[in-house]
Each structure stands twice: as structure tokens, then as C-alpha cells.
Structure 1
Amino acid sequence: MTGNTAGIEQVELGRGGPLVGVQGLGCMGMSEFYGDTDEAAARQTLDAALEAGVTLFDTADVYGRGANEEFLAPFVAAHRDRITLATKFAIERTDDPLYRGVRNDRAYIRGAVEDSLRRLGTDVIDLYYMHRRDPDVPLAESVGAMAELVQEGKVRHLGLSEVTGAELREAHAVHPIAALQSEWSLFSRDVERSAVGAATELGVAFVPYSPLGRGFLTGAFADASAELTADDFRQYQPRFTGDNAKTNGALLTPVREIAQARGATPAQIALAWVQQRAAVHGLTVVPIPGTRKPSRLAENTEATRITLTPAELSLLEPIAAGVAGDRYPDMSHTSAAREG
């Protein structure tokens, strides 16, 4: 089911899910992880997104330890009937800035949703994701607890993040899953091993996060350790520093060449490639590039109108296989770590 608004195209987010703009907005960087934020510009970006037809706004309780949900609350209140609000639970933080735990048990889920509802200032979350999987907790327990939230009217639709195809099928058998959110880009294609096929089979929408390779695919920086601030977490991602960054930077040549020939930007080519996965794999794809600037928002949404040719796609196809370095220093909580 598709439709059109004054802005970007709309698509159904999973079978029976809400209609959303074919591109969403990742809000994480408005509060943390990518250095200092201009709050006024970030709020202008939210408004610009809605005006462009972006209706899926993505946050999580872990972003700023709740600060990002609180930041979004006034926007949510002003536009509640026009937006699809997505947030997540499962990543646990403490006062130790390097600590990341994962909780999927029923008691934790029930506490987490109440905290998110309070911070967001709403009585219902449109799409509630399990942010990461704890393999020690049965999926039936976690998804069963999430399903209770739907029955109670606190959540409308369920989502998962960074799960394998087998895990998605197992969860979907407990309660319908509307969306799977995992990293998917020209640099990160491990989800194509099993998760994409399962999503297609089940009618689950795919929501790629970091479709711009956390900015690296745009050419915004060439080496995180040399160019980004000390509080920017990209300094700790292996593929963005040192020899890995040099290797990966060389892979961007066809992206730049296609962009130049089309009068587009590298970001638009990278996003167009992700958007075109919908046609390639036969599923709904709604990437959520993050930005804090209205100008970048306009650039990103314009990419939804670009269709790459078979020749261009052929030039981009080898990139992922040449990428040096993992997505995270510790890959244990990604779907890639649990693939057979």
C-alpha cells in the first residue's frame, strides 16, 4: 500500500502498520554521540522533516539516558496526530560512560515503557523496539511481554533491532512484528545473509539505521580520530580511524563519481542505494538517516526521488566487501555475531 503527500512518498510500515514517509528521521544525534548540538537548529530540523513528509521519528531511551525522549516531547505534543513515534528499550547504562548492558526480561520491559511514556509525554508509543537481543532470555518471554503492552494500549506496533532471520521468524510467531531496524548501507550489508529475506517473507518493514555510514559515506570526515571531537563516539568505531579509514575512504570513489555525474551529493547516492533495496528485495524499506540541520534534511529527502541505473548499481555493488574494520569495537550484541 503506497500513497503520496505534498512531500515524499508514503508506505505501509509492515502489514497492517501505519502509513509513514518512505524516509524517516533518526533523532539520536540531537542529544548525544556526535559532538555538540545546536538545539534551535535541531528543533528546526524536526519541523522541516514533517513539512517534507517525514513522519517516522526514531529515538530510544538510551540516547542521552532519556534526554533525547525528553527533547522530543514538545514536538510530539504539538504534532501527535501527524507523526509515527518510535522508541526502543534494552540497552542499559550506568554512571560508567563505557558500560552497556542488555536487558530483555519482562520486569525491565514493563519499567522501561513507563519511563519512555513519561519522558515523551504521551500515552501510547506507535512503534516499540527491542533495541538489542539478550540471547539468555527466551524471545518468547521478551516478545510476550511486549505483546502485553499492545493489549494494554501502551504500544501500537512492535519492532526488533539487530536480530537474525531465524530470530525474526521466532518473534513474529509470538506477535506480529511491524519493523526490523538494523544497520544497512553501502558499507554494512550483513543483514542480507538472513534478516532481509525473513522480513520479505513475513511482510516486515526494514528500517535501516546509519544508512550514511555515520557520515563517512558523505565525505563529512576522513579519519575520526584526527577530525572529530573527543566526545564523538565514531572515534571508537574501528572502520573510521587509522589504516581502516584510509582503506574505506578509497572505496568512496564510485559514490563521488556517480554523484558528480548526476549533479547530486554522495549522501544522496548512498541513500538512493538504500532506498532502492526495496525494489531489489521486494520489501518496504524506510531508512532513518540522522541529521541536526534543516539543509541536510532537505538533501536527504531529495534522495528518495533518485533511481540509480543498473550500471550505477553495478559500480556500487563491490563496496561492502572491501570495507575494513567492524561496525563496533564489540560486535557481540549485533545480529552478525549470531549468524550461523
Structure 2
Amino acid sequence: MEKRQIGSSSIMVSKLGLGCMSLGTDETKAREIVEAALEGGITYFDTADLYDFGQNEEILGKILQPYRDQIVISTKVGNRWNHEKTSWTWDPSKEHIKESVKQSLHRLKTDYIDLYQLHGGTIQDNIEESIEAFEELKDEGYIKEYGISSIRLNVIKQYAEKSTIQSNMMQYSLLDRRPEEIFPILEDHTISVITRGPVAKGLLTNSMLNKATNKILDQGYLDYTYEELKSVLLSIQDRFHSTRNMNELALQYNLSHSAVASVIPGASSVLQVTENIAAVNKDPLTKEEVDLLKGITKQSIYQEHRE
């Protein structure tokens, strides 16, 4: 599988990664999914200390340990569970970041983390302090590079200007094209985009509207009413039914943008992994196909966190 560079770093990741949040806590099932990903050429695995109270990191670390020198692991920091583990609070402090990395390293059974990401961020944070923590972790060898996971334009601009982040993770799909407004800023600073949510809760898979929840039926999806959503999905299917399936279009659309280094859909079954691998191994979208998809879907922008 094709590999792409993260920012200006030496880290190369498979263009399809595995978002591990949905692996669950059944180690046997998780192992089947991860090993199917490895067999299909996926070398990039993303988790977070938040997922399953750290158990996600533990399971992933155990499975990936024999392959450590062949793969890239990214995890995230910044959320602190309360004592009862019923909710979490935001903590981007230097103390929390530097303590949490040691816990993640232990759970992941590794000496270093390839890409350590701040799991959110607000403009009220002490951004300079957070940056200082990540830079120290680089100098100390605990992490290779760092990035953020944010959709907030004001936060992204601050990190782009003040730090050496190599990546930003964003929800991005044909039904959520808001990140496209931010891509030029990131590209100007040689910061790669890692995309999550590319199939839009399953709406951009071959199941399409069968994946619509009651909430989507009542309220639509983002700025699409249900009727608009139905019209858009059926239009896409009608235009491409003889050449490409919906899953392929969803993943290839993300990868068609030069800012995107990797797309990381989650997977709760081996079948989902193999379908995603097949989809990204198809021919890239042509300019005409990309333009057609853009013409069918909405180009919206983020309304909040702009300044």
C-alpha cells in the first residue's frame, strides 16, 4: 500500500490507517481486525489514552509489539477521567502531558510514540505551555513528532504559527467538507491532515440510508436535512453506480486532496477492514470525478472558533 509523509518529518504512513477506537475490549476480536489490517498493508494505527480508560492502548500494544519496527503508532493526550470514570475534563497542561506519555508508553509496550497528539484544544489554553511539553518530549526521545486533533480554526492557526506540529486530525468526508477551508493554511506550514469519520457514520458506505439513525431521520446530518441527504446520496450513487461503490468514493475523495496524508476509518469487523483496503487500492479519483462530487455536495465552513 502507498505510504505518505507526515508533514516534513521522516514518518511515513500507509495512506489508509486504522482508527482503533471501535476495536472494543475483546482482545481476540481486536487481534483479528488488527492482523487483517497488517496483512492488507496498513502500517498506521491510531488510538488515545481516553479510549476504554486506556485498555485500547493496552490491547493495541500487546498485538502490535511483534511488529513495532514496521508500524507507526499514534496516540492522544489531554483528557483526564474523573475518579469514578463517568466523565472527563480537559487538561492540556505540561504536567499532565508529560505524565500521561509515560503511562501510554507502558500500556503500548513501547519505548517511543511515533506521533503524539493533543486530543482537542481551546483558544483559552496555555498553548505555549502545551507546545513546550511536546518539544521536551521530543528532545527526551519519548516521542518522534507531535500533532493536534482539532477542528477549531483559531486553535489550528496558533499551533501552525507557534509550534512544529506535523499533523492535524480532522473529521472530513463528502458530507462534511468544512475542513477544506483550513487545508491551505496547513499546507502553507507543511502540516499534514489525518482524516477521521470519512464514511460519515456509515452513510457513505454501500449501506447508505440504511445507516440513518432515528436522529438523522428526524434532524438530518450536519447541515443536510434528511431529504437533502437522501437526494445527495442517491445522486452520487446514480452518477457512479457503474464505476465505483460508495465506500470507494468516500475514502478516495479524502485521499484526493494533497493536504491529506492518511485516512483512518474505524473498523469493528474484519470485513470492514478488508473493504476499506480494497477501496483505497483502487485507482485514485480523476479531477473530473472530484469536481463532480464537489458539485453534488455542500461546501460549508465552520461557524464557530474562528477568531
Same fold (TM over 0.5): yes
Q: 1:208 to 1:336 in 2, by over 3 A?
A: farther
Shift of 1:169: 4.5
Q: Any conservation in 1 of the 2:5–2:261 contact (CA below 8 Å)?
A: no
> 1:70 and 2:51 equivalent?
no
Q: 1:71 to 1:259 in 2, by over 3 A?
A: farther
Shift of 1:311: 4.0
Q: Write the distance in 2 (CA, Å) between the matches of 1:261 and 1:292.
A: 28
Quick one: percent identity of the two aligned structures? 27
Q: Write the distance in 2 (CA, Å) between the matches of 1:301 and 1:255.
A: 21
Within 5 Å, which residues of 2 pair with 1:1-340?
Answer: 8-31=1-24, 39-94=27-82, 95=84, 97=86, 99-164=87-152, 167-193=155-181, 195-218=182-205, 219=207, 221-225=210-214, 240-244=216-220, 246-247=226-227, 248-262=229-243, 264-278=244-258, 283-304=259-280, 305-318=282-295, 320-321=297-298, 337-340=304-307
What secondary structure sits across from 1:251 in the alignment? helix
Q: Any conservation in 2 of the 1:187–1:213 contact (CA below 8 Å)?
A: yes
Shift of 1:147: 1.0
- Tell me which moved more, 8-17 or 53-62: 8-17
TM-score under structure 2 length normalisation: 0.87
Q: 1:311 to 1:175 in 2, by over 3 A?
A: closer
TM-score under structure 1 length normalisation: 0.80
- Count residues in correspondence: 298
Q: Partner residue of 1:34? A: none
Letter in 1 for 2:246: P
Q: Write the distance in 2 (CA, Å) between the matches of 1:82 and 1:67.
A: 22
Q: Write the distance in 1 (CA, Å) between the matches of 2:15 and 2:218.
A: 35
Q: Any conservation in 1 of the 2:22–2:266 contact (CA below 8 Å)?
A: yes
Q: Runs of 5+ in structure 2 lacking a partner?
A: none
What secondary structure sits across from 1:64 in the alignment? helix
Q: Runs of 5+ in structure 1 lacking a partner?
A: 1-7, 32-36, 226-237, 327-334
Shift of 1:105: 1.0
Q: Any conservation in 2 of the 1:166–1:198 contact (CA below 8 Å)?
A: no
Q: Write the distance in 1 (CA, Å) between the matches of 2:177 and 2:32.
A: 32
Q: Any conservation in 2 of the 1:204–1:284 contact (CA below 8 Å)?
A: no
Q: Write the distance in 1 (CA, Å) between the matches of 2:233 and 2:36.
A: 29
